[in-house]
A and B are shown apart, each in its own frame.
Chain A
């Protein structure tokens, strides 16, 4: 939405009050650490426990395929349009083109986001594309494009992995030919502790810890094609010792395999629902 800056007689730039009180918050948090004495995390999960997932296909009737995912408080909705004609002649290609658009809604995070895609969102769009592209049979869609739009409604950590899985289900319901479903899993690492499916709070705490020179402090996201046993995308932020990378990678793959039945069940439910509609 365009804003007319001339009409608003405020300061040119403004800052969120959270910028200034954040220091206090993080101090408090470091006292009670990421994992409490009873080996549980803040939200009561064990270190290797995923958050409960809600997944539903076909939520946007006008899109070719769509889906909605909740991982704890992280909520992502995704729509797939196409295959449709490529308009610009210079973009002609015998292989289909896949585009990804990742967007946080303005109200999805603690701080308000802008309408325009910022650098982080652009980076996440590229990462999402990297994860999905190896799974789609693009050679079956010559001269056409497939557009994926993922919108994060609420961000409580691991938004990228939620978006990747959501998009993969949406592609499947759109009837786009794929080699495999794409699963994704995130991991937060602090020293020797691996936190599966981190919440936003945990992600932020880990990012703050990098200032205190621990051995490992970072997050990793991995996308996995389970029946081909291939990794389609892998990114990490923060500092990892070398041995930790392999360990985290294995942990992520394990988590992805745990999630496979969830996606399969969602697709089966969707097919059943469609069958019921045609019978009725």
Chain B
């Protein structure tokens, strides 16, 4: 992540402002920053989305591919996450610099989506025991402005909402079943994302905790808790990060606020995505 050098007085200022529930940019402790979500930007993908959360910028493209099923799980499709930390975001990502962060984020995403209620994995299987869809979810970090995990997970959910999987007709042939993938762009099925989780990161700053921390606030925080939360409030993954430790009561408080924020965030996101779809507008993309 981009280096933020904060002096001691600056840190104290942030710490005190969080204590007063009025953060340095005027938000309360459980408020998100301004967010822009747009789907269907890239025509070469089956589903895509871009999320801009203040100065954090994430682009997600999903491509689907037919593949033999995993013999361990013969009735379900699969998803795979790949994250590319572009050196445009920060020079520190140059070469292999972003690899550690990338594997951390993809591990957290894989874990949040590994629970079967997240998306309907059985609908991704075409022929049980033989063929299924494999979703390649490629994430590109264009700019880092704090709270990467949340922004990435929101973008992934939006892209899954936008995903159009081509319909497949199966015909019985002698010697097997023939699969025919439709090349009509309007002949597709959608994926139900109502159970898909978003990640909510709660940073501990002083005695208080905040969601959607900016880069400066992240520099003041020694420990954070990340949770994958669905619209119903179930937790699909949890992880504590950072060099500090926490007492159990403050963890309880933190996951409580993560739950409240997460449920609200899921609802808002789904509403906005539906609204966006209803309107027929030229995509704005990067020409803003």
Contacts and interface: CB of A to CB of B under 8 A. Distances in A.
Interface of A: 15, 19-20, 22-23, 119, 122-123, 126-127, 130, 133-135, 210-211, 213, 217-218, 220, 225, 228-242, 245-246, 249-250, 253
Interface in B64-120: 71-72, 74, 76, 103-104, 107, 111, 114-117
A245 B235 contact: yes
A213 B116 contact: yes
22 contacts: A15-B71, A19-B71, A19-B72, A134-B244, A210-B116, A210-B117, A225-B245, A228-B245, A231-B248, A231-B251, A234-B225, A234-B238, A234-B240, A238-B114, A239-B234, A239-B235, A239-B236, A240-B238, A242-B234, A242-B235, A245-B255, A246-B252
Given A210-B115, A234-B225, A229 B233 contact: no
Contacts of A241: 233-235
A134 B241 CA distance: 11
Contacts of A242: 233-235, 255, 259
A43 B245 CA distance: 34
A130 B117 CA distance: 29
A135 B111 CA distance: 26
A191 to B, nearest CB: 13
A9 to B, nearest CB: 23
Contacts of A246: 252, 255
Interface residues on B, range: 20 to 34
A257 to B, nearest CB: 12
Interface in B232-288: 233-248, 251-252, 255, 259
A228 B223 CA distance: 16
Contacts of B104: 126
Given A230-B246, A249-B251, A235 B238 contact: yes
B116 A211 contact: yes
Nearest to B243: A133
Given A126-B104, A237-B237, A240-B234, A22 B72 contact: yes
A225 B246 CA distance: 10
Nearest to A232: B245
A235 B238 CA distance: 5
Contacts of B246: 230-231
Contacts of A236: 235, 237-239
Contacts of A127: 239
A54 to B, nearest CB: 28
Given A130-B241, A134-B245, A240 B235 contact: yes
A247 B238 CA distance: 15
Given A123-B103, A231-B246, 14 more contacts: A15-B71, A119-B103, A130-B240, A130-B241, A210-B116, A217-B115, A218-B115, A228-B245, A234-B225, A234-B240, A235-B239, A239-B115, A239-B234, A245-B238
Contacts of B255: 242, 245-246
A217 B103 CA distance: 25
A250 B236 CA distance: 19
Nearest to B108: A123
Counting chain A CB atoms within 10 Å of each CB, the highest count among B104, B116, B242, B259 belongs to B116
A201 B196 CA distance: 28
Contacts of B238: 220, 234-236, 240, 245
